[in-house]
Amino acid sequence: MTLEGKLAWVTGAGSGIGRAAAEALAAGGARVVLSGRRAAQLDEAAAAIGRAGGKAEAWPLDVADRQAVERVAASIGPVDILVNSAGVNTPKRFWRELRGEEWDRVVRTNLDGTTYCILAVLPGMRAKGSGVIINVSSWAGRYDTQFTGAAYNASKFGVGALTATINMEEGVNGIRACVVCPGEVATPILKTRPVPPSDEEMARMVQPEDMGRIIRFIAETPPHVVLNEIVVSPTWNRIYLGGADLKRGE
């Protein structure tokens, strides 16, 4: 499926997987709306896409704010492709130190924010009779993973459940959803770990541009095909092999 003439809305687009997804979709011909909390990063990313010959505009947004999500969605109009990439975690992630406010922050962004964006685009997709929703979850949303913590794991497992229900209910309306579950990707969120990985370790991980290519592939899949779930990991998979920085909740 060509992306020419399509409108893609990407959250968490200021850096990491979100920015790489926006760049890849724009390179494929889509007009891309970039959303995220940091306006300066969004502006820089949109400008970089423009310099590369793509079409992009920045709409700052905290996806945890439902009313703000609804305002942005109404302003940008019907969306063909939604990429939910906004996500956070907290250094205080283990039960011995987790606090309610940290739980709220993670779940409101990762799960509630994803839900708000889906709710905002579904009416327009139903009216068109087509649409692709790509939800970025995590290896920790597919397999029990100890070092990512309770709030992150719970929120990312929830993203997988959301995705499945979209395909159950909205396939009859031509709407498809894919949950992408990456292992370690060299993005800024890794710096929120209790012990961040080294630059050498991050060089061995899946890179943001790898995820951008995967997300573009999902978006370009023919309308009669659903990629329900894609699990991605580095070849040098430290979730199996271990790493000095993978601190456990001991």
Q: Which residues are known catalytic residues? A: 152
- How many other C-beta atoms lie within 10 A of the C-beta of residue 49? 23
233: which residues sit within 8 A by CB, 6+ positions away?
A: 139, 182, 183, 184, 206, 239
Query: Which of 165, 70, 177, 173 is CA-nearest to residue 132?
Result: 177
Gap between the Cα atoms of 116 and 208, Å rounded? 24
